[in-house]
Amino acid sequence: MKLVSWNVNGLRACMGKGFPAFLEAEAPDVICLQETKMQREQADFAFPGYHEYWNSSTVKKGYSGTAVFTRQEPLSVSCGMGIQEFDGEGRVIAAEYGDFTLVTVYTPNAQAELARIDYRMAFEDAFRAYLTRLREHKPVIVCGDMNVAHRPIDLKNAKANIGNAGYSYEERGKFAELLATGLVDTFRHFYPDQTGAYSWWSYRGNARENNTGWRIDYFLADERLVPQLEDSRILPQVMGSDHCPVELILTRRGSV
């Protein structure tokens, strides 16, 4: 079973930069998108063979937003965490399957000078509590742009970025708290020491060409699902966004 996550930085723009070809070539069982930047009714495209679920921003059009496209219809789907302060930005979708609940998230950016760090910290606490409630029912898999590089190995210039958005002590601490609830960073599970493995590059300074990047897109898996993990991959060769897709391969044991 192949699960894919991709911050497309505007799905309509990404559609013209290879998204349809990628979807056809990879043929994932489920693909989760972040930063769709659109409402479904704005789309003049369709994805045959996939059920579509959208959670678009209601506070500002052309901003944030998530989507899930899945071959098998989920047992249930919910958008948001049930908290008005956060749900208006369309950042969370949960799709329940037989063996697990798949949650995609677009975690708020703390912004320059950590201008939005308080909102980010409150979101982190609410999201962690939300996942804890879901896990009482069945294991979870969490994917998405989590806007944090966890450890120095996860970005090119760690020392220069200490305290900056995405690599602040506050954000890294919250990510560690999330993992401590019983979630596994699947890429580091398989590749604990791999360097140069990034999923986002600035558009400035030829960052992508020079691989001056950050690993801020993740698949986290409930520790109860570790026996079903086959591989966790980053696909830096795939263009179309300032992020590249990441994917998780699971065994076919059980049901999606």
| Active site residue ranges | 106, 145
Residue 201: other Cβ atoms inside 10 A? 22
Tokens of 213: 């990047």
CA distances from 227 to 23, 114, 142 (A): 27, 38, 17
Half-sphere exposure of 169 (CA within 13 A, CB side): 0
Beta strands in the chain (DSSP E): 2-7, 30-34, 51-55, 66-70, 76-79, 92-96, 101-106, 140-145, 183-185, 200-201, 213-214, 217-222, 229-234, 246-250
